[in-house]
Structure 1
C-alpha cells in the first residue's frame, strides 16, 4: 500500500547538503513503521491530552508506538491474571485474546462508522490514534497497582476519567475535524469514546481487581496460590 505525498531528502556530498525534492508515493513502511524513539515519546505524551496547545497538536501517527502499548498492556494484564484466584479467571478470556480482539474490532468499527459519516481519515491513521490512546489504559492500571493494589475503585475511576477520558477526547476532536455532518460526529465520537472507557473498565475488573469475579461480583479475598493455568 502506498500514499501520495512529497518529502525533502538531504543528501550530503563533499561536505555539502543538497536539498532534493522527491515527489511520488510514500510506502506503508516509511509512513507508519519508520519512526525514531524521540518521536514515539512525543506522541505518547501528546496522546494523553486533547490537541489544545502546541505540544499536543501532533497529528502524525505510526504503528510502532501502538504495538509497544499492546505488548506492555498484555504484560501488565498477565500480572493481574496470575495473582487472581484461579476460580475468578475460569470464565474469562486470556488477556492476549481480549486485547487482540479489541485492537482489531474497535478500529474496524470506527472506520466503518467514519466511512458512513464520510470522514476523510485513513484506516491506519485511525488505528494509530486509537493505539496511542491505549497508553492511558497502561498508566491507569499501573498507577492503580502501585498505589492502591487495585483495591480502590475510587482511585481507579479518577485515573479513568483523567487519563482515559482525555485520551479519548483527543481522538474525538481529531475525528470531528474530518466529519462534515454534526449528527455523524456525535454518533462516531460517542461510540469510540464509550468503547474506549468501557474496555478499560473491563480490563480493571476482569484481570486486575483482586476481589472481583467476572460475571458475579465477589468480596472473597484472593488466595496466595499462584495461578498455574497460563
Structure 2
C-alpha cells in the first residue's frame, strides 16, 4: 500500500519562520475552506490524496462538543450528575488519545507525524458533535437514535481516520491491530460521553 500524501493547509510553514508565525499558520485558512474541511472529515480519503493539517477546525469542534455536553450535563437529574465536568474529560481525551495513537503508529512504523494525528483526531470530534447533538435534540433517553447517529456520524469520521492511518503504516502485520484499537477507543469514548453527559437519567457511578 502506498502512503497518502499528507500536507499542511495552504502551504507547510517554513522552518526559518519564528515559532509564533509557525503556530499562527496552523490557524490560518481561506474562509470557505473550513466548511469543506468539516465535510471532508466524514468522507473516506478516496477521491483526494491530500490530507491538509490545521488546528482551527479542531478547536471549533472542541468548543462545540463542550457546549453540547455542557447543556446535556445541565439537564441530567441531580442523582445522575457525574463529578467531572465535560471540559475536564475532553481535555484528558485530547491529551491521551493523540499520545496513544502516536505510540501505536510508531510501533507500526507509520509515516504520520504527531501534528497530523492531532489534526485528524481534532476533525474526528465533529463526528461526536453531530452524534451527541442529534441525540440531545431528539430524545436524550432514546438509545436507538443515539446508536443510529453514532453509526452515521461517528462511524464515518472514525473510518476516515483509520483509513488514513492504515495507509501510512509500513508493517502490514500491525495495520489491522493498530486501526482496530484506535477505532474501538473512539467509539467507546462517544458511548461514554452520551451516557455520562447527554442521557438525562443514566448514572455512571452510584454515589
Which bin holds the TM-score, normalised by the shorter protein?
A: 0.7 to 0.9
Quote the offset at 1:198 in angstroms: 0.8
Partner residue in 2 for 1:204: 194
Q: Which runs of 5+ in 2 are unaligned?
A: 1-6
Q: Distance in 2 between matches of 1:52 and 1:118?
A: 22
Asked whether the equivalents of residues 111 and 123 of structure 1 are also in contact (C-alpha less than 8 Å), the reply is yes
Is residue 82 of structure 2 the alignment partner of residue 85 of structure 1? no
Asked whether the equivalents of residues 49 and 170 of structure 1 are also in contact (C-alpha less than 8 Å), the reply is yes
Which structure: greater strand fraction? 1
Partner residue in 2 for 1:136: 127
Partner residue in 2 for 1:180: 170
In structure 1, the residue corresponding to 2:170 is in which secondary structure? coil
Q: Which has the higher contact order (CA 8 A, sep 6+)?
A: 2
Quote the offset at 1:53 in angstroms: 2.9
- For residue 74 of structure 1, the aligned residue among 44, 53, 66 is 66
Aligned length: 194
Quote the offset at 1:177 in angstroms: 1.4
Which stretch shifts more, 194-203 or 178-187?
178-187
Is residue 96 of structure 2 the alignment partner of residue 105 of structure 1? yes
Partner residue in 2 for 1:38: 32
Which stretch shifts more, 99-108 or 187-196?
187-196
Partner residue in 2 for 1:53: 47
Which structure: greater helix fraction? 2
Q: Distance in 1 between matches of 2:141 and 2:197?
A: 13
In structure 1, the residue corresponding to 2:15 is in which secondary structure? strand
**RMSD of the alignment, in Å?**
2.3
Q: Deviations over 1:58-112 (max 9, x none)?
A: 51021111011001111111101111112211x4411000000001100011001
- For residue 23 of structure 2, the aligned residue among 29, 38, 56 is 29
Q: Which runs of 5+ in 1 are unaligned?
A: 10-22, 217-230
Quote the offset at 1:25 in angstroms: 2.8
Asked whether the equivalents of residues 46 and 58 of structure 1 are also in contact (C-alpha less than 8 Å), the reply is no
